[in-house]
Amino acid sequence: MEVLLPKYHLTEFFKRNNSSFDNYGLAVEKYGRNNDAKLEYLESDDNRGRSGKNLFHTPNSEAQNLCGKIQKKQTGIIEQLKQQHKTTGSLELQQNWRMAVGMGNVSVYNNGFTLHPIYGIPYIPAQAVKGILRNYIIQKFFSIESIESKELDKVGKKMEEEAMQDQLFCLLFGSTEKSYNKKAHKSIIDFMDVFPVDSFTMVPDIMNPHYGDYYSDKNNNILPTDDLNPSPIIFLTVKDTAFKFNFYFNAKNESKCNNYRSSKIIHNSHFEKKNTFSIVELIEYFLKEALEINGVGAKTNVGYGRLTLKK
């Protein structure tokens, strides 16, 4: 059902409520600041494209309070899982610098950001966490040492094929019919969506390409010199925020990793020197390492998205 309201009603409403949105995600994605006369979204109220200070709405206290409520809810879920004979593990990690998750999402601001579709607060999807950990372990333990230059584009595929021959990797992350035992089965590990521990801070950031005219010149008449006009691009980030990572699996699998001591994951890590260890230890150790080294989200090569243990 569609409800139409006079435009002047909306104008007066948003004048009174412009800085007070309980759902931060709706404010950013559905009510972007705009200039109706020019049919464009504003990147700054006063100096378009220069500062970004007024580009996005500020989360109010209700949006911040959601963090604690969600953590309480997840804690309750974890207790229920334990009663269902599940083993659980968790990590609290703190940002080293800003983080930009979901920059490729469709957005009127050119660059998107992943905000929870219901709660409207920043989060890291569970499947992304598992993908980060899986990819890190493949890169760390199943790298291809020698490969012909003409096959460089196949490196990722060959590394994954190598990982599929490792029994412990297949136990943790699942396998296809091309695995060591020719059987497809799902991963034993499940992750929860990752939310801020108690609060979050959203800030605009800026990319400043200087050579836009050079890249767009189809006639090759423009040189990439420093006198070209820069084109500031504003994007949204989260900073100074701690996140809690939760995972769980069936308790009967808890000690299975000790049956696969010949795995490259064990043989080429400090776990080889341990008499016994658990899957929880394994996942927590490598997840922490993956997020410290590789990070999460966009622009990790320049320091974004790195997390370390909360102090």
Chain centroid, CA 56 distance in Å: 20
51: pLDDT strictly greater than 60: no
Beta strands in the chain (DSSP E): 34-35, 40-41, 86-95, 190-191, 195-196, 201-207, 233-239, 242-250, 307-309
Q: What residue segments make up the domains of the chain, in order of their start? A: 7-299
Please, what is the end-to-end C-alpha distance for the chain in angstroms? 50
Beta strands in 155-241 (DSSP E): 190-191, 195-196, 201-207, 233-239
Q: What residues are paired with 233 via a beta bridge?
A: 207
Q: Which is nearest to 199 in space by CA: 102, 66, 87, 4?
A: 66
Q: Using alpha carbons only, give the angle 145, 147, 150 rounded to the nearest 5 degrees.
A: 150
CB 142 within 8 A of CB 159: yes
- How far apart, in whole angstroms, are the C-alpha atoms of residue 299 and residue 100? 8
Per-residue pLDDT reduced to its tens digit, 194-240: 999 999 999 888 888 888 888 888 888 888 888 888 878 888 999 99
Residue 18 Cα distances to 4, 10, 53, 120, 121, angstroms:
20, 11, 15, 16, 18
The mean per-residue pLDDT over the stretch 159-183 comes to 93
Which bin fits 240, alpha (ψ -120 to 50), beta or left (φ > 0)?
Answer: left
Which helix (DSSP H) or strand (DSSP E) does residue 54 occupy? none
Q: Which residue has the tokens 């922490």?
A: 288
Structure tokens at 212: 């836009």
- How far apart, in whole angstroms, are the C-alpha atoms of residue 306 and residue 288? 10
* pTM of the complete model: 0.85
The mean per-residue pLDDT over the stretch 110-138 comes to 95
Query: What is the pLDDT at residue 151?
Result: 65
Per-residue pLDDT reduced to its tens digit, 4-42: 666 655 565 555 555 567 788 888 887 766 555 444 445
